[in-house]
Amino acid sequence: MIMRYRLNTTTASQSKESIWVALRRLVPLMAGEGRSIAIAFGAILVSSAATLTAPLIISHIVDRFITTGDYAGLLTWSGLLLCVFLVGLASGYTQTRTMGGVGRRILFNLRNAIFVKLQDLPVAFFNQNRSGDLISRINNDTDKLNQFFSQALMQFLGNAFLIVGAGILLVALDFRLGGAALVPAALVLIVTQLIGGWVKRASYKSLQSLGGLSGEVQESLANFKVIVAFNRLDYFRDKFARANTANYDASIRAGVASNLFIPLYGLASNLGQLVVLAYGIMLVSQGQLTVGLLIGFLLYVNSFYTPLRQLATIWASLQLALAGLDRISEVLALETDMAILDTTAVTGTALLAFENVSFHYPEGENVLHDVSFALERGKTYALIGPTGGGKSTTASLMARLYDPTGGTVQLDGRDIRSFTPQERTAKIGFILQEPFLFSGTVRDNIRYGNPAMASVDDAALSAQLDAAGLSDLLGHFRDGLDTTLTAGGDAMSLGQKQLVAFIRAALREPELLILDEATANIDTVTEQLLETILEHLPATTTKVVIAHRLNTIKDADEIFFINGGTVTPAGSMQNAIEMLMHGDMTS
Amino acid sequence: MARPRQASGSSLFGLLRPYWVWISGLVALTIASNALNLVGPQLISGAIDGIDKAGSNLTLFVVQFSTLAAGIFVLTYLQSIVQTLASERVARDLRTQLIARIAEQDFAYVQKVTASQLLTNLTSDVDAIKSFVSQAVSSIVSSLFLIIGASVLLLLIDWQLALAVLGVVPIIAGTFYFVLSRVRKLFRKSQEAIDWLNSVINESILGSSLIRLLNSQALEYDKFLAANTQAKTIGMSILRLFAAMIPIITFATNLATLTIVVFGGHLVISGTLTLGNFTAFNSYLSILIFPILIIGFMSNVVAQATASYDRITTVLNAAVPAATGSLVADIRGTIAVEKLTVQYQDRAVLDGVSFTANAGTRTAVIGPTAAGKTQLLYAITGLIVPQSGRVSYDGVALGEYDRQSLHQQVGLVFQDSATFNLTLRENIAFSNTVDDESLKKAIATAELDDFIAALPQGLDTVVSERGTSLSGGQKQRIMLARALALNPRVLLLDDFTARVDARTEAKILGNVRQNYPGITLISVTQKIAPVEDYDQIVLLMEGTMLASGTHAELMASSPEYMQIYASQQSTNDYALPA
């Protein structure tokens, strides 16, 4: 069975879960934060209490002392007010500091979790998702969460407390007046519910169109030489103009939708004040309420609506963060289907054997069908066949980049799936068709991922390279081992990259070395040098060579012809050429 | 909180000049809605002061306040819509300008500046300017308006109390200045940490196969952990500053409230201030403090937008290559390369290369890895501009030609495959001058007929980046068909045969001779056997031309050529007829 790793990129199936369900996903990442969270919550309570007590004291001062002219009482109670403000200062700092720290650490853990998951997923995951999409998804979404954690989360929690606290006080102080003050808030929340879907869809579309825009730019700029050489700057401009206009339209629509919230909550705030004043003045004139209490009430209405208005301003960033969390969770929910099996019985003596192996890519036809063959130690095998015939796929199965969809691959007589990654990768060296280099120096890249070379100093590394005859290849690099690679890697030719990949693999001295068109862009003189180096590998090294150039396969002990789902031993070089010349080359 | 204006050439505010109608509308709406906001406390204070009097004016108050609330709602919403329209317009136009400028540049410029940086200019930098227009412009205007308005009203109500209250403003301004000047440095560092983080993620995605083959996941995780820890550390430092800033500013505001209670209370008791005005003072205070906070935060937005605009103007002001010539002519196809020198930084990748390829002849370029072969083809097509020397077609310098008409006649097949997310038809007939007949001929020549026939959607199959398992050889043949579809007079092949099997290669080269008679061919290649009968073979090594001539001449005169030849001799028995 082939696992589907393709991530959802359509608008249709956004999760409909509430904010709280989404936030609950973060719970496992909060392990060990219990104490900090308790402190932060304590601080939030104290600071909200301080914020809410102040108006109470002020209205008391107005009623008791100002209206009665008691200046001494006013001073005493003002001292109390100052103490409350100081408590607010201390608890405010503690709250922001601890909660912010918690947020930062959650983000840190979340990023680590994503990265570990990425490292855990097999190659199929990366092939089923466009690399550009994946990079943008992971970079942008963590960034949105970053913004949420660093700013909005604290505001969100703090404001939520203030709203609840102020709401309770309003009702507690005066049931009728408080209830009346909350009516506009209730109305505005209902409206929010009603138009929420519309706003979310509009925002989502605008994000998508932005993704489309950067996709266009990325593709066109990466292929700029083709656009220039084929006179298609008009194509570049047109395609961009279309994406730019689409983004403009979508952004305007999103802006018109999401900008409704701030004025709406402002309106609610004003209506709240109006209701309190009109109703309050009526109550005062009936003698059921004091003026001081009314002034205090007005302040509470502000304490209630100001955080609500602030929630409206961070609402958009909260929605974005939740959408980002959704998409990250989608990656986190994937599980690799390439488990390590328990050690199985040893059968056979071949280094590597295919037993009735079939393979197809998801939604594809069989690339290999019921294929069996064995590779003996110390021999050289060549895989030939027309382009698209399945040579690279066969090689990938040998290194367990994929698992077969049927049959088994045996390494050292055991199911290759029963090896730990360490054991397996120590035995197998693979030079890929598309060489990949990390930013850094040639030395860094040669050392990369080689446990034996990790602790070796530069001199010892050079000695190793000399011993393996690899030093001669370094002349192809301007500064030898110290030649640096930039991120784009444009300064280095394809041939040079292939050389680095070759040195990296040869230095590991694997038992099985697979070269997948590994020297296609290297000149034949250098290639001869590579052959010499290969000959000097230990006699037990098994080599598998995929190449179009006949000279690179001339020394093979056996040649396999791969096409149409079958792997056929060619017997002799001459026969192999016959098969190549007359085989069906375009299937 | 005025920040020193950046002294750079084109100012951020200059950018807004073409949008003055929008911006003035925005400013007018902002001022209007804020003016209405200032009326609110006046109405409230009037209502409270009127409590002792007859209750008849309550209805009037309700009507007035409702009208006010509705007015504020309409004006703020209008303001936000104008804001969105203005900022999106600025962003759209800026992007269009950038693209127009990039489209004027040559390939060398994009290569030097890198596609990823231009992408950042077009996305994050434009976004920073968008937030400047959408947030900063109206916020700063309305904040200044509110600060001045509230201060004036406070002073009008009671100047002594007002002065006492305004005393907290310097405390707030000082705190902001202290924190933000430090935070800005940390923001830059934090951005660097994020870039680092992203580059580790990018490499781990692009190199995913290699990482799995080497089992180096732990190594990648260590890299990532280092970057992530750095990001966390900087984040914590920023947090420490902000955690102190907000409570201090809140406390300063509270001190002002305390001043109103103590001093204002005293004034009420002594009868110089009404209770209504006392309440109004509190209301105006909250109106006054918020804009000060806003201006503090906006100074950051302005700083970021200024940095982004500087980067954007660098792209907009970058010199474009001298206008190409205007000569539109059907070329015969004689190419002369004279003393061509191309340098990257201080290193010459081509050094005084000269040769001539006559119309209708075939030339092979052979040389070791990193000899400068690809750069030679780029210089011949004008993709890169040489530091010295010249390239001419039919004796006329490359620069004299109208670039479009020349590119119509010179087909280049790149070494690396570059496909667009388009259908096969659009990928092959990429130049828009291709007719159906040329398309068919190109596909047949590149031996793609069977491959396309086997696809369920044929030519209408969309080619994507990965996934649709195109093999290396298939991609390369699509690239060839794209060049041939131009019906070119000159065909340049860059290591075309590296990923195509011998039989297909032989057939394709035969097809080219047959279907495109008289074409001038320059082919960069590794294999001598297929090019032995070419009219000329050019031997490049480390940027210099070691020799040129026919196969026989080079065999007689060039030891390096003989060495390459010898390296391929052992398989001569199997060499295929060209």
Instruction: Check whether residue A218 and residue A88 sit in a common domain.
Output: yes
| Farthest CA pair distance, chain B | 120
pLDDT in single tens digits along all 578 residues of chain B? 333 333 344 578 788 888 989 988 988 998 898 888 878 888 888 887 777 665 557 788 888 889 999 999 999 999 989 989 999 999 999 999 999 998 888 887 887 777 777 877 888 789 889 888 888 888 888 888 888 888 898 898 888 888 888 888 888 888 888 888 888 788 778 777 877 887 788 788 878 888 888 888 888 899 999 999 998 898 889 888 888 887 888 898 889 889 988 988 888 888 888 888 888 888 788 778 778 778 877 877 787 788 888 889 999 998 887 777 888 888 898 999 999 998 877 778 889 999 999 999 999 999 887 788 888 998 998 888 888 999 999 999 988 898 888 888 999 998 877 778 788 888 888 877 788 899 999 999 998 888 888 888 888 887 765 434 577 778 888 989 999 999 999 999 988 877 777 778 888 989 999 999 999 999 998 888 888 889 999 999 888 899 999 999 999 999 889 888 888 775 544 444 33
Judgement on whether residues A164 and A239 belong to the same structural domain of the protein: yes
Domain containing B395: what range?
335-570
- Is B327 among the domain residues? no
The pLDDT value given to residue A20: 66
- Are residues B300 and B355 part of one domain? no
> Within a domain: residue B9?
no
Length of chain A: 587
Residue A175 sits at the chain B interface (C-beta within 8 Å): no
Q: What stretches of B8-117 adopt beta strand conformation (E)?
A: none
Whether residue B255 is contained in a domain is answered as yes
- Look at residue A3 and tell me if it is in a domain: no
Comparing alpha-carbon positions, the chain A residue that sits nearest to B419 is A223
Contact B229 A284 (CB under 8 A): no
Domain harbouring B542, CATH code: 3.40.50.300
**Whether residue A171 sits in one domain with residue A35:** yes
CATH of the domain at B95: 1.20.1560.10
Helix axes A71-120, A153-173, angle to 10 degrees: 140
Q: Which residue of B238, B370, B528 is in closest CB contact with A495?
A: B370
Nearest to A228 among B88, B106, B416 (CB): B106
A587 is a domain residue = no
**What are the backbone angles phi and psi of residue A535, rounded to the nearest 5°?**
-65, -30
Asked whether residue B288 falls in the same domain as residue B369, the answer is no
Check which CATH number belongs to the domain holding A71 and give it: 1.20.1560.10
Instruction: Write down the pLDDT at residue A2.
Output: 43
Q: Are residues A404 and A319 in the same domain?
A: no
Claim to verify: residue A44 and residue A145 sit in the same structural domain: yes
pLDDT for A1: 37
Per-residue model confidence as pLDDT tens digits over B188-244 = 787 778 778 877 887 888 788 888 888 888 888 999 999 999 988 988 898 888 888
**Number of domains composing chain B:** 2
Co-location of B370 and B508 in the same domain: yes
Inter-chain contact A71–B215, Cβ cutoff 8 Å? no
Same domain, A271 and A379: no
User: For residue A294, what is the nearest residue in chain B, using CA coordinates?
Assistant: B48
Token pair of B8, please? 């750079």
* Pair B436, B311 in one domain: no
Q: Are residues A321 and A402 in the same domain?
A: no
In a domain, B151, yes or no: yes
- Tell which residue, A261, A308, A263, has the closest CA to residue B74: A263
Mark which of B257, B286, B317 sits at the end of a domain.
Answer: B317
Q: Are residues A254 and A356 in the same domain?
A: no
Q: Do A115 and B344 touch (CB under 8 A)?
A: no
Long-range contacts of the stretch A26-34 (C-beta < 8 A, 24+): A26/A106, A26/A110, A26/A325, A29/A106, A29/A109, A29/A110, A29/A113, A30/A102, A30/A106, A33/A102, A33/A105, A33/A106
The residue whose two tokens read 């390829």 is B357
Query: Which residues sit opposite A366 in a β-bridge?
Result: A360
In a domain? residue B322: no
Residue A101: which of B225, B239, B498 has the nearest Cβ?
A: B239
Do B290 and B416 sit in the same domain of this protein?
no
Q: What is the CATH number of the domain that holds A556?
A: 3.40.50.300
Domain match, A288 and A366 both: no
In angstroms, the separation between the Cα of residue B12 and the nearest Cα of chain A is 21
Chain A contact set for B42 (CB, 8 A) = none
Smallest Cβ distance to A573: which of B262, B505, B574?
B574
Amino acid type, B427 = N
State whether residue A258 sits within 8 Å of chain B by CB. Answer: no
Based on the fold, state whether residues B227 and B132 are members of the same structural domain. yes
Same domain, residue pair A145 and A221: yes
Tally of structural domains, chain A: 2
Q: Is A336 on the interface with B (CB under 8 A)?
A: no
Chain A residues within an 8 Å CB radius of B430: 226, 230, 232, 235
Q: Are residues B54 and B186 in the same domain?
A: yes
pTM: 0.76
Closest partner residue to A274 (CB to CB) among B50, B66, B257 is B66
Backbone angles phi, psi at B342, to 5 degrees: -125, 130
Asked if A96 and B465 come within 8 Å (Cβ–Cβ), the reply is no
A82: in domain: yes
Put simply, whether A478 touches B (Cβ < 8 Å) is: yes
If asked whether residues A50 and A198 sit together in one domain, one would say yes
Contact A237 B199 (CB under 8 A): no
Query: Does residue B6 sit within a domain?
Result: no
Cβ distance of B210 and A235 shorter than 8 Å: no
- Note whether B297 and B388 are same-domain residues: no
ipTM: 0.79
Q: Does A525 touch chain B (CB under 8 A)?
A: yes
CB half-sphere exposure, A376, CA atoms < 13 A: 5
| Chain A nearest CA to B4, separation (Å) | 27
Does residue B330 lie within any of the structural domains?
Answer: no
Nearest residue in B to A239, CA atom? B99
Query: How many A×B Cβ pairs under 8 Å?
Result: 465
Tell me which of A9, A191, A233, A261 to substitute to probe the interface with B (most B C-beta atoms closer than 10 Å). A233
Final residue before a domain boundary, out of A268, A300, A332? A332
Residue burial A193-215, b: 16+ Cβ < 10 Å; e: rest = eebeeebbebbbbbbbbbbebbb
B277 and B353 assigned to the same domain: no
Same domain, A158 and A86: yes
- Taking the Cβ of residue A139 and every Cβ of chain B, the question of whether any pair is shorter than 8 Å is answered with yes
Q: Please report the pLDDT score of residue B572 as a whole number.
A: 44
B118 and B228 part of one domain:
yes
DSSP secondary structure string, A381-448? EEEE--TTSSHHHHHHHHTTSS--SEEEEEETTEEGGGS-HHHHHHHEEEE-SS----SEEHHHHHHT
State which residues form the domain around A235. Answer: 30-332
Same domain, B364 and B400: yes
Q: Give dist(CA A251, CA A516) in Å, integer.
A: 47
Within a domain: residue A111? yes
**Distance between CA atoms of B248 and B242, rounded to whole angstroms?**
10
Q: Give me the residue from A85, A230, A525 closest to B251, CB to CB.
A: A85
CB A43 within 8 A of CB A95: yes
Q: 3-state SS of B550-578?
A: CHHHHHHHCHHHHHHHHHHHCCHHHCCCC
pLDDT per residue of chain A (587 residues) written in tens, 0 to 9 = 344 676 665 443 344 555 566 667 777 777 788 888 889 888 888 988 888 888 889 888 888 888 888 888 999 999 999 999 999 999 989 988 888 888 888 888 888 888 888 888 888 888 777 666 676 666 667 777 776 766 677 777 778 888 888 899 889 988 888 898 899 999 998 988 888 778 777 877 777 777 778 777 777 887 888 888 887 888 888 888 998 999 899 989 988 888 888 889 889 988 998 888 888 888 888 888 888 888 888 888 888 888 888 888 777 667 767 777 777 787 888 888 888 888 777 777 889 999 999 998 776 778 899 999 999 999 999 998 877 778 888 999 999 988 999 999 999 989 999 998 888 988 999 998 878 888 888 898 888 888 888 778 888 888 888 888 888 888 888 788 888 876 444 567 888 888 899 999 988 889 999 998 887 788 878 888 888 888 888 889 999 998 776 666 777 889 998 888 889 888 877 787 777 766 544 33
Cα three-residue angle B562-B567-B573, rounded to 5 degrees: 105
Determine, yes or no, domain membership for A408.
Answer: yes
- Residue B82 domain flag: yes
Distance CA B15, CA A374 (A): 70
